Structure 1
Amino acid sequence: MAVQERYDTRPFAPDTTAGMGVQLLVLEVLCRAVGMGTTGWLTGSAFAVVTWVVLTLALRRSWTGAFGPANRVTLARTILVGGVTALVADSFERRPPVAVLVALAAVALVLDAVDGQVARRTGTATALGARFDMEVDAFLILVLCVYVAVPLGAWVLAIGLMRYAFVAASWVLPWLRGALPHSMARKTVAALQGIVLVVAGAGILPRASAAAAVAVALALLAWSFGRDIGWLWRVRARPGGAGRGGTAARAPVAGEGRGVSVRS
């Protein structure tokens, strides 16, 4: 009976299922309001289904007992990211509604600061919540990179792919999964990526200026990752350090998460 209760996901079903339903509703609104085509709708629908499956499985494994208000804020951000993803996919076939795309992305970035505050004030900060928050941030950055890479060049994708490359490297080099200390510089650099990509995607800057801004953001991100990798390398052989399989907080892609910072 205890095992069945541990893996019973019914407490989360209303939240995760409602989230998928709202995502599909948002996609339908985008189709009718801004003329988003089939490619965008199918991409957004796939995003909704995959999100529902992954989140349900994660909740089943972690069993936090309740979805929580902070996770609901993050779920709302996920829905906005789904809309951005659909519009970016559709932009390869037709001129995208830039104002709508930028507005959705901007609100998603602003809400990134809200879910963490909600988690701390309600005492509902969890490792799952931090991971959920971080994965949403990472995917939004990657999607924005895809959008901005069209006018500026494929090199922009390095911003969105850097975190995933770090995760892949950590599968081979376990010391990369070690604990990192809190860093305001890391948090600032991570937050800057989304801001710069939204501004560049909005088309309000000349192309040369947008490219320069994104290049600076990429350079800062490379410095941030390089500094963290150097720190992990130096402490890898210390007792309790990265080389001993430390599993404490790790640096996020955008923001410090909800009391638990994770890069992977």
Structure 2
Amino acid sequence: MIHASWMLVGIAGALRLGEPGVLAWVGVGALVWWIGRQRGAVVVGLANAITALRVVIAAAIATLPSDAVVPWGGGLLLLFFVLDGVDGWWARRSGTATAFGAAFDQEADAFMVAVVTVVITRAELAPGWVVTAGVLRYAYVLVVHALRTHGEAPRSLVARHAFGVLVVTLIAVMLVPCPLTRVAVSVGAALIVASFARSLWWSWRGPVTGA
């Protein structure tokens, strides 16, 4: 909850000041603090090193000048997306997959979405409400734990597909900004909103039992 709170503060600060770099510093600091809180669960290995590199790439996107977001932001995000598949593949192949690695991967993804949605709205590549896609992960954590629900919903295929669509549209809008990609990224953000609504419903209702 503390990590989620700091991320929301970082997003608000970046939007208020018009400086995505603020989110980069706050986000990396919050992740370092979060990792430190994992104590003995932290595993040092190639897969987690790749995930850490993805965090660095996301922070680099936040520090790009506005006139460099297209196309350099799209190129960096494409690299992030490729490495997102590599770290999980290597963890499974090498037998080093852990609960910490899965959680770290998820937090890296959430950090990236927060950063990129702030960057593209500041660069006027997408409507302002798209930032909602970057806020929801952290708002969801706070709501789920503050209201004593059934906990966070397990990550589903629906969520994975929604995330994949969002990332592809984010890459597209930073490589080829045009009305079509602007609409596409809005659709991707809407899918994320729907996915989190579904997860919140699960958290509130609890797992379905029986047939």
1:188 is matched with 161
**Following TM superposition, by how much is the alpha carbon of 1:127 offset from its aligned partner in structure 2, in angstroms?**
1.7
Question: Partners of 2:139 and 2:45 in 1: how far apart?
Answer: 31
Pairs aligned (count) = 190
1:10 is matched with none
Identify the match of residue 142 of structure 2 among 168, 171, 176: 168
Counterparts of residues 53-202 of structure 1 (less than 5 Å): 53-54=32-33, 57-58=36-37, 61-64=39-42, 66-87=43-64, 90-91=65-66, 95-96=67-68, 98-150=70-122, 151=124, 152-180=126-154, 183-202=156-175
Asked if the contact 1:189–1:217 (Cα under 8 Å) also holds between the matched residues in 2, the reply is: yes
Aligned to 2:107, what secondary structure does the other structure show?
helix
Asked if the contact 1:142–1:159 (Cα under 8 Å) also holds between the matched residues in 2, the reply is: yes
Q: 1:157 to 1:178 in 2, by over 3 A?
A: closer
Question: Partners of 1:160 and 1:123 in 2: how far apart?
Answer: 31
Identify the match of residue 184 of structure 2 among 207, 213, 218: 213
2:204 is matched with 233
Structure (1/2) with the larger helix percentage:
2
Q: Percent identity?
A: 31
1:154-203 deviation line (CA, Å, top 9, x unaligned): 111111111111112113222251453x532221111211111121122x
Q: 1:219 to 1:63 in 2, by over 3 A?
A: closer
Aligned to 2:90, what secondary structure does the other structure show?
helix
Unaligned stretches of 5+ residues in structure 1: 1-38, 239-264
Counterparts of residues 6-85 of structure 1 (less than 5 Å): 46=25, 50=29, 53-54=32-33, 57-58=36-37, 61-64=39-42, 66-85=43-62
Aligned to 2:44, what secondary structure does the other structure show?
coil
Aligned to 2:97, what secondary structure does the other structure show?
coil
**Following TM superposition, by how much is the alpha carbon of 1:206 offset from its aligned partner in structure 2, in angstroms?**
2.1
**Following TM superposition, by how much is the alpha carbon of 1:140 offset from its aligned partner in structure 2, in angstroms?**
0.8
1:222 is matched with 193
**Following TM superposition, by how much is the alpha carbon of 1:51 offset from its aligned partner in structure 2, in angstroms?**
6.5
Q: Aligned AA for 1:99?
A: P
Question: Partners of 1:160 and 1:49 in 2: how far apart?
Answer: 15
Aligned to 1:174, what secondary structure does the other structure show?
coil
**Following TM superposition, by how much is the alpha carbon of 1:109 offset from its aligned partner in structure 2, in angstroms?**
1.1
1:57-83 deviation line (CA, Å, top 9, x unaligned): 145x1344x401210111221221221
Aligned to 1:125, what secondary structure does the other structure show?
coil
Q: Relative contact order (alpha carbons < 8 A, sep ≥ 6): 1 or 2 greater?
A: 2
Point out 4+ residue stretches in structure 1 off by more than 3 angstroms. 42-49
Question: Partners of 1:48 and 1:139 in 2: how far apart?
Answer: 7
Max radius of gyration: which structure?
A: 1
Aligned to 2:149, what secondary structure does the other structure show?
helix
Normalised to the residue count of structure 1, the TM-score between the two structures is 0.62
Normalised to the residue count of structure 2, the TM-score between the two structures is 0.76
CA root-mean-square deviation: 2.9
Asked if the contact 1:44–1:83 (Cα under 8 Å) also holds between the matched residues in 2, the reply is: no
Counterparts of residues 239-258 of structure 1 (less than 5 Å): none
